């Protein structure tokens, strides 16, 4: 039997590595596409996955975007602001009808990629898996979560979930959801209530629930998000968004949000694809979102070299 085609992984941070290790463990060949010749030179070609069950080592030979092998299947796990440029760098290598799977926070890039790559089935995913890099090539899978993947364009709806095999059958809890936009909006609404505030106040997620002033700011953000979602006819949760956001802040009380980690690490943040996305959508509707706008500006001020989404 022919070996299953390779999955190329663009964006080799914690989440890209987590999926790469699990694909490799399932016997699928995986090729991380690294962002520079310097990175390829220092990358040892393997990753160690650390879980409660111990450590496992995976050989994952890296390559550059300029390599010339065709890409049959592509998982893009970059930060939201890097997705489109990273994809452009490998576009000429995509085999006809190669599925593209986008896995990042926020909204904006997904729709643009789905339109720009209309000949390819384009899917989006959202995950609550918790993983971080622990120096060098070690990856710690710290918190088990769940993931959803679903179609973004007509070609993906026609193709269905078959193209996502084996992403859906790994020992990570992953499901196919044809209404993926709803899931992406739910994650966006939660991230918009938590991430920016923790980045500005330099605090763990749980502080937002405990500190009255932060809690009030979170309530305002949630109320504005709900107003916009209602205007767009976009369902969110069955219970108020603020209750959901509080629940997540409490359940992840000791965690530092991905945005705070970016600010502390001096990296660009995903604010433009989260609160920025909501502000742009609101503007199209003639709606003002003052709390989101203020937060957007405050986070941008903390990282002046922010990227647009």
Contacting positions for ligand KPL (CB under 6 A) = 105, 190-191, 194-195, 205, 248, 252, 255, 257-258
The nearer residue to ligand KPL, 94 or 295, going by C-beta atoms, is: 295
* Length of the chain measured in residues: 309
DSSP, res 55: E
CA–CA separation, 305 vs 308, rounded Å? 10
For residue 252, the minimal CB distance to ligand KPL (Å) is 5
For residue 248, the minimal CB distance to ligand KPL (Å) is 5
The nearer residue to ligand KPL, 25 or 144, going by C-beta atoms, is: 144
Sequence-separated (6 or more) residues with CB below 8 Å from residue 122 = 99, 100, 101, 102, 110, 113, 114, 151, 152, 153, 155, 156
Q: Decide if 11 contacts 79 (C-beta within 8 A).
A: yes
Q: Would you tell me the crossing angle of helices 109-116 and 83-90 to the nearest 10 degrees?
A: 20
For residue 257, the minimal CB distance to ligand KPL (Å) is 4
The nearer residue to ligand KPL, 76 or 271, going by C-beta atoms, is: 271
For residue 198, the minimal CB distance to ligand KPL (Å) is 8
The nearer residue to ligand KPL, 105 or 153, going by C-beta atoms, is: 105
187 part of the active site: yes
CA–CA separation, 272 vs 296, rounded Å? 7
Catalytic residues: 187
């Amino acid at each position: 039997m022919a070996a299953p085609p390779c999955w190329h992984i663009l964006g080799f941070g914690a989440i890209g590595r987590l999926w790469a290790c699990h694909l490799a463990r399932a016997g699928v060949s995986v090729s991380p596409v690294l962002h520079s010749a310097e990175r390829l030179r220092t990358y040892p070609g393997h990753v160690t996955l650390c879980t409660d069950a111990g450590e496992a080592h995976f050989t994952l030979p890296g390559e550059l975007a300029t390599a010339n092998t065709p890409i049959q299947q592509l998982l893009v796990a970059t930060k939201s602001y890097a997705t489109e440029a990273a994809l452009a760098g490998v576009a000429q290598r995509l085999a006809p009808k190669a599925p593209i799977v986008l896995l990042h926070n926020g909204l904006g890039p997904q729709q643009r990629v789905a339109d720009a790559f209309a000949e390819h089935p384009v899917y989006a995913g959202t995950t609550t898996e918790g993983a971080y890099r622990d120096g060098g090539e070690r990856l710690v899978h710290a918190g088990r979560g769940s993931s959803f993947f679903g179609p973004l364009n007509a070609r993906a709806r026609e193709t269905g979930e078959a193209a996502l095999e084996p992403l859906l059958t790994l020992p990570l809890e992953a499901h196919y959801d044809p209404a993926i936009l709803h899931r992406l909006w739910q994650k966006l609404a939660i991230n918009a209530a938590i991430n920016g505030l923790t980045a500005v106040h330099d605090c763990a997620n749980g502080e937002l629930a405990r500190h009255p002033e932060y809690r009030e700011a979170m309530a305002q953000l949630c109320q504005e998000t709900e107003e916009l979602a209602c205007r767009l006819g976009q369902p969110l949760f069955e219970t108020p968004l603020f209750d959901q956001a509080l629940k997540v802040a409490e359940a992840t009380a000791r965690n530092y949000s991905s945005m705070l980690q970016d600010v502390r690490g001096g990296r660009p943040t995903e604010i433009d694809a989260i609160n920025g996305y909501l502000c742009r959508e609101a503007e199209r509707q003639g709606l003002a979102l003052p709390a989101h706008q203020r937060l957007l500006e405050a986070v941008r001020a903390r990282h002046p070299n922010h990227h647009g989404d």
